[in-house]
Amino acid sequence: MSGSLPEDQAGLYVLGALSAEEMRAVRVAAGQDPALAVEVAAWERRLAPLARIVPEAALPASLWPRLEARLDNAGGSAAPAEIIQLSARQPRGSRPLPAVAYWRAAAVGAMALAASLAAVLVLRAPPKAAQFALVLPHRPGESGWLVEIGDRGELHVRAGAALALAADRDYELWALAEGAARPVPLGLMPVAGTAVLTADRLPTKKYQLLVSLEPKGGSPTGLPTGPVMFAGDVVTR
């Protein structure tokens, strides 16, 4: 804890109760004092769920072109060219929202997009298929897969960057239909690059894709034997 600041300044900073000068002081101090930075991060983690009190809303489609323009200008070498639009988050029927609802939606959407932005950075291209899923870790941060469902029910899988996997393990893909008790196996996932999985047993109703950690070669039982580490809803563009 920084000697020059009151003891609970990290919590007050994250809570948002400080004045502009006090906020600046905490920021400067945290840049020089790793213990304070850790304390701030701990408070961010403790209080983050409070953001859920603000109701989640859809992002209006018209926000995207403006954001893309901003990102193109701001991104430099780091920025991929395109953003995946989350069809599932679009408002049904795309009614124009009143101004207040619009910006509340936009601001809250910034958080709703937590999972997808991380994925976008590694996947770098929008899906082309009518149906697709972003299969992401439960606590998204790094990477996952973009799974596109082709016309013949085949799955085009693209791995994000840096998927870690022990040499004696495989990631296995499963489809879990709404209301179903058991998932059906769809095949082993690539940890890098792309793969096409031929699935003859895709659910006919709404379903989720899950990825579990399995022994090399996949689950010997036909059901997941390891933890389900990634998941994503199949959405229709």
User: Is 18 an interacting residue with respect to another protein (CB under 8 A)?
Assistant: yes
**Size of residue set near another protein by CB under 8 A:** 55
Q: Nearest distance from residue 29's CB to another protein, in Å?
A: 15
- In angstroms, what CA-CA distances link 82 with 61, 121, 124, 192? 14, 9, 7, 20
Q: Which of residues 116-135 bind another protein (CB under 8 A)?
A: 117-118, 121
Which x/- pattern, by CB under 8 A, does the window 60-99 give for another protein? ---x--xx--xx--xx--xx-------------------x
The residue within the footprint of another protein, chosen from 19, 193, 200, 221 (CB under 8 A), is 19
| Contacts to another protein by CB under 8 A | 8, 11-12, 14-20, 23, 41-42, 44-55, 63, 66-67, 70-71, 74-75, 78-79, 99-100, 102-104, 106-111, 113-115, 117-118, 121, 139-142
